[in-house]
């Protein structure tokens, strides 16, 4: 069974940093691209970042470019998102999501999400 | 970025109704269009990919059509468990974008 479990969310002050993790199991992690998608309270879905299976291709939404860094450790079956210079508008539930096939952009499995709140 | 526009933003329907949701892209995206269902407090669930392919395990009452810039999600006979918010999403460009969502409520 495919499982994605996010962790690392919490309350952080504006300008602060936070690191999210996503532990993957139930599939061959090295075969799949991964993504982070977020959802602000009461709002729709916003794609944040993508990383290919071997980390050769990385993309970011303009809203987080230069502040967030996506990475993965295939030996640990884990995906990460390092978030710096956080703003109130980064407050959201952050989901990790698997690509249906390498870099397809179709997100076939999602984690349960981790909540990030940016507030003083 | 490719903009995705869904309509309506919400609708009320009864069990057994046929429901249609539309999604329009700001440019042609071929058939690189996916549909997701999200229930309150839960993660989104993939329903349809590449416009018309049904994801494994998804009931056949869900179907998708369209190509180019205009797409449709149809629920042939609405069931109680289908009351949720539905999102379209384009995978034509590397910057994935979602529609604003359509909330399907009980009439």
Interchain proximity B95–A111, CB inside 8 Å: no
Where residue B97 falls among pLDDT bands split at 50, 70, 90?
A: very high
Q: What is the structure's pLDDT at A104? A: 84
On whether any CB of chain B is under 8 Å from the CB of A46, the answer is: yes
Q: What is the structure's pLDDT at B106? A: 87
On chain B, the residues whose CB falls within 8 A of the CB of A106 are: 34, 46, 49-50, 91
Q: What is the structure's pLDDT at A27? A: 97
Interchain proximity A61–B91, CB inside 8 Å: no
Euclidean distance between CA atoms B67 and A86, whole angstroms:
38
On chain A, the residues whose CB falls within 8 A of the CB of B45 are: 110
Interchain proximity A95–B44, CB inside 8 Å: yes
Q: What is the structure's pLDDT at A85? A: 98
Q: Which residue of B has its CA nearest to A35?
A: B96
Q: How far, in Å, are A66, A103, B9, B20, B71 from residue A60 at the CA level?
A: 9, 14, 27, 32, 26
Where residue B107 falls among pLDDT bands split at 50, 70, 90?
A: confident
| pLDDT tens figures, A9-65 | 999 999 999 999 999 999 999 999 999 999 999 999 999 999 999 999 999 999 999
Tell me the three state secondary structure of residue A108: strand
Tell me the three state secondary structure of residue B78: coil
φ and ψ of A94, to 5 deg? -105, 125
Residues in chain A: 120
| pLDDT tens figures, B17-71 | 999 999 999 999 999 999 999 999 999 999 999 999 999 999 999 999 999 999 9
Q: What is the structure's pLDDT at B34? A: 98
| pLDDT tens figures, B65-95 | 999 999 999 999 999 999 999 999 999 999 9
Euclidean distance between CA atoms B53 and B59, whole angstroms:
12
Kindly give the residue spans of alpha helices, DSSP state H, lying in B6-74.
none
- Identify whether the C-beta of residue B24 lies closer than 8 Å to the C-beta of residue B67: no
On whether any CB of chain B is under 8 Å from the CB of A105, the answer is: yes
Q: Which residue of A has its CA nearest to B88?
A: A45
| pLDDT tens figures, A49-105 | 999 999 999 999 999 999 999 999 999 999 999 999 999 999 999 999 999 887 789
On chain A, the residues whose CB falls within 8 A of the CB of B91 are: 104-106
Q: Which residue of A has its CA nearest to B93?
A: A105
Q: What is the structure's pLDDT at A101? A: 80
On chain A, the residues whose CB falls within 8 A of the CB of B100 are: 44
Q: What is the structure's pLDDT at B100? A: 98
Tell me the three state secondary structure of residue A92: strand
Where residue B16 falls among pLDDT bands split at 50, 70, 90?
A: very high
Q: Which residue of B has its CA nearest to A51?
A: B94
Q: ∠ at Cα B96 (A98, B8), nearest 5°?
A: 110
- Identify whether the C-beta of residue A36 lies closer than 8 Å to the C-beta of residue A70: yes
Q: What is the structure's pLDDT at B26? A: 98
Euclidean distance between CA atoms B25 and B99, whole angstroms:
9
Q: What is the structure's pLDDT at B9? A: 98
Euclidean distance between CA atoms A77 and A22, whole angstroms:
8
Interchain proximity B43–A45, CB inside 8 Å: no
On chain A, the residues whose CB falls within 8 A of the CB of B1 are: 62
On whether any CB of chain B is under 8 Å from the CB of A10, the answer is: no
For residues A34-46, one letter each, b for 16 or more C-beta atoms within 10 angstroms of the residue's C-beta and e for the rest, the string is bbbbbbeeeeebb
Beta strands in A8-113 (DSSP E): 10-12, 18-25, 34-39, 45-51, 58-60, 68-73, 78-83, 92-99, 107-110
Interchain proximity B46–A105, CB inside 8 Å: no
Percent of chain B with pLDDT over 70: 100
Q: ∠ at Cα A109 (B17, A53), nearest 5°?
A: 145
Q: How far, in Å, are A13, B58, B98, B102, B107 from residue B16 at the CA level?
A: 48, 17, 28, 18, 11
């Amino acid at each position: 069974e495919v499982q994605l479990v996010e962790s690392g969310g919490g309350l952080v002050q504006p300008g602060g940093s936070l690191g999210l993790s996503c532990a993957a199991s139930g599939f061959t992690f090295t075969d799949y691209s991964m993504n982070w998608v977020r959802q602000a309270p009461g709002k729709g879905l916003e794609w944040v970042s993508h990383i290919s299976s071997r980390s050769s291709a990385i993309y970011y939404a303009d809203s987080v470019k230069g502040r967030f860094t996506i990475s993965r450790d295939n030996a640990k079956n884990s995906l990460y998102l390092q978030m710096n210079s956080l703003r109130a508008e980064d407050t959201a539930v952050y989901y990790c999501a698997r690509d249906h096939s390498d870099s397809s952009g179709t997100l076939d499995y999602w984690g349960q999400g981790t909540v990030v709140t940016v507030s003083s | 970025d490719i903009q995705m526009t869904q309509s309506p933003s919400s609708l009320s329907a009864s069990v057994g109704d046929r429901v249609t949701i539309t999604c329009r892209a700001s440019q042609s995206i071929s058939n690189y269009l996916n549909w997701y269902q999200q229930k309150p407090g839960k993660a989104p669930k993939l329903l349809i990919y590449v416009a018309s392919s049904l994801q494994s395990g998804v009931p056949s009452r869900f179907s998708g059509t369209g190509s180019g810039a205009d797409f449709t999600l149809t629920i042939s006979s609405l069931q109680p468990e289908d009351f949720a918010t539905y999102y379209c999403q384009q995978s034509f460009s590397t910057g994935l974008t979602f529609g604003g969502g359509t909330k399907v409520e009980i009439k």
